[in-house]
Amino acid sequence: MGSKNKLKRFNENETFDNVIQPTREEMTTAFEWKGKWATFFKNDNPITLELGCGKGEYTIDLARKYPNRNFIGVDIKGARFWRGAKTAIEEGLTNVAFLRTQIELVEYAFGKNEIDEIWITFPDPQIKYKRTKHRMTNPEFLSKYKNILVEGGFINLKTDSEFMHGYTLGLLQGLCEDIVFAHHDIYTHTEAPEEVVSTQTFYEKQYLEQGKAITYLKFRLR
């Protein structure tokens, strides 16, 4: 993507009512919507997060399917989620928002028990050992998610990385967490959850065309 195109998208994001772009200082001191997302959406409907949302495919598609739920895509790359934010406006989806921030700041963005469900879609697996702290399902991140999820709230991990799937599955088993669903090639599973196989991200479609298996995990943190 050219720099001019990026700048155009950044500028357009500034005009979107469904895009929130706090500075890091604003986020870590007194972020205005923490614990108050019901006020932002003007309802008390359950909230689902898509962390590392990219173009926001899951955020948008789930919002279409579940109008009585609210959806927030979180990503630091505003030029990417511009597409999702613009689509939401074009389609009149009032149950959608996009937050531009780092995933590690998620506890500053949301209050305790404020989130009902989390989707993590095709994160960077950070395979090198020295990158373990950046894996979005490492113990530190799981602790952050637990603090913002309602009791019994679900986390969904969908990835083309066998490493990421295996790492997370092994970690959850070691921590004795509640694994609800796990499969190493979800599109071959005859009872795959509808929302898992009916929504595909831009990169996921490319992976499937290349014959890559897509893995899926659904779990709860005790």
Enzyme catalytic residues: 124
Give, in order, the Cα–Cα distances in Å from 157 to each of 16, 186, 192.
Answer: 29, 12, 14
The torsion angles phi and psi of 202, rounded to 5 degrees, stand at -55, -50
| Burial track 174-200 (b if 16+ CB lie within 10 A, e otherwise) | eeebeeebbbeebeeeeebeeebeebb
Residue listed under structure tokens 């506890």: 107
Render 41-71 in DSSP notation, one character per residue.
HTS---EEEEET-TTTHHHHHHHHH-TTSEE
> What does the alpha-carbon distance between residue 158 and residue 136 come to, in Å, rounded to a whole number?
12
- What letter represents residue 166's amino acid? G
- H/E stretch holding 125 reads none
